[in-house]
Amino acid sequence: MDKRISLTITEVCQKLGIDYSSINPNYLQMINDAKRLGEIIFEINCLVGDLDAIFIRHNIDLNFKQTLQKDLELLHNIDHDLIKLSKKVKNE
């Protein structure tokens, strides 16, 4: 429970410009990193879709798309690993 309270306090203090140091800085950073990684993966998925449309329109070799999809899967696995790690830290 303290971790959620600490997260809320930190977020509110950041918005208000108040200097506050959480007792759980690693947890907060991991949660923020996991959120941002999720956003990045979503953005990459959108870009892959855009690239795919361009490749089809201009008859470009699709091996590049397959390489991007493999890289995206790796990022997706990292995202899940970060979430698992943040939950473990949360429970400890």
- Per-residue pLDDT of 17-40, as tens digits, reads 988 877 666 767 777 777 787 787
More confident residue, 26 or 42: 42
CA distance 62 to 39: 25
Residues of the chain with pLDDT > 90, as a percent, come to: 3
CA distance 32 to 13: 15
Per-residue confidence band for 1, with pLDDT thresholds at 50, 70 and 90: very low
What tens digit of pLDDT does each residue of 7-21 get? Answer: 788 788 889 998 887
**Residue 54 clears pLDDT 80, i.e. is over it:** yes
